[in-house]
A and B are shown apart, each in its own frame.
Chain A
Amino acid sequence: DVKVTQSSRYLVKRTGEKVFLECVQDMDHENMFWYRQDPGLGLRLIYFSYDVKMKEKGDIPEGYSVSREKKERFSLILESASTNQTSMYLCASSFPKGREEGYTFGSGTRLTVV
């Protein structure tokens, strides 16, 4: 079974903290994505990566950065957490165009910033 694993299911952090969200996939997917999911807004893309050390901004990259040092791991970093970053964060992975079958999602990390 394809697995996308997010390291934490629930996180509570304080305003101003640096936060790391980790995602690991075991399907040798080239593409990896970070979305945030908010009620009424659906899924909004923060960053994505189509190869190791490659990254591209999504629709809402402000306040976030990412790291992809290995193919299977894609980290989302909140440089200085703020309350408006309280959300559900979803990691996804996929094969590249021409081989893709759709995204596989992780279970999500519900982050609360207090």
Chain B
Amino acid sequence: AQSVSQHNHHVILSEAASLELGCNYSYGGTVNLFWYVQYPGQHLQLLLKYFSGDPLVKGIKGFEAEFIKSKFSFNLRKPSVQWSDTAEYFCAVNPTSGTYKYIFGTGTRLKVLA
């Protein structure tokens, strides 16, 4: 069955530290890839997406992600985190063939200490 793994469930960083959140998926075909963020008390928002082309994609608020097809990975990065990045981050995969539904990872809770 198709699945998405986010291995880091909880991450605690100090401000200005670099961030990398892992996302791996199991699906052999072509996929669209997404990272969503949920700030405390707010709705899920799209952070960035990859459909095709340059495997390094840039999103809002200084986030970027790199699609490595050979590793089935789409890791999220930010060079220097801020306290306001405290949130839960979800990776999602949508196979380009088949249904419309996205498969979400279980999420990573990031806490940034001021």
Q: Which residues of A pack against B, CB within 8 Å?
A: 31, 33, 35, 40-45, 48, 50, 56, 58, 90, 92, 94, 96-97, 100-108
Interface of chain B, helix or strand or loop or mixed?
loop
Q: Are A94 and B90 in contact (CB under 8 A)?
A: no
Interface residue ranges of B14-52 to A (CB < 8 Å): 32, 34, 36, 42-46, 49
Contacts A42-B90, A97-B96 given; does A103 touch B102 at CB 8 Å: yes
Check if B101 sits within 8 Å of A58, measured CB to CB: yes
Structural contact, A108 and B43, CB atoms closer than 8 A: yes
Chain A-chain B contacts (Cβ-Cβ < 8 Å), number? 52
- Chain B residues proximal to chain A, CB less than 8 Å: 9, 32, 34, 36, 42-46, 49, 90, 92, 94, 96, 99-102, 104-107
Q: Which residues of the partner chain B approach A90 to less than 8 Å between Cβ atoms?
A: 43-44
Chain A hits for B101, CB < 8 A: 33, 45, 48, 58
Whole-angstrom distance between the Cβ of B89 and the nearest chain A Cβ: 11
Q: How far is the CB of A40 from chain B (nearest CB, A)?
A: 6
Q: Which of B34, B94, B104 contacts A42 (CB 8 A)?
A: B104
Known: A105-B43, A107-B43. A42 touches B100 (CB 8 A): no
- Residues on A with C-beta less than 8 A from B46 are 101-104
With a cutoff of 8 Å between Cβ atoms, the chain B residues found around residue A31 in the complex are 100
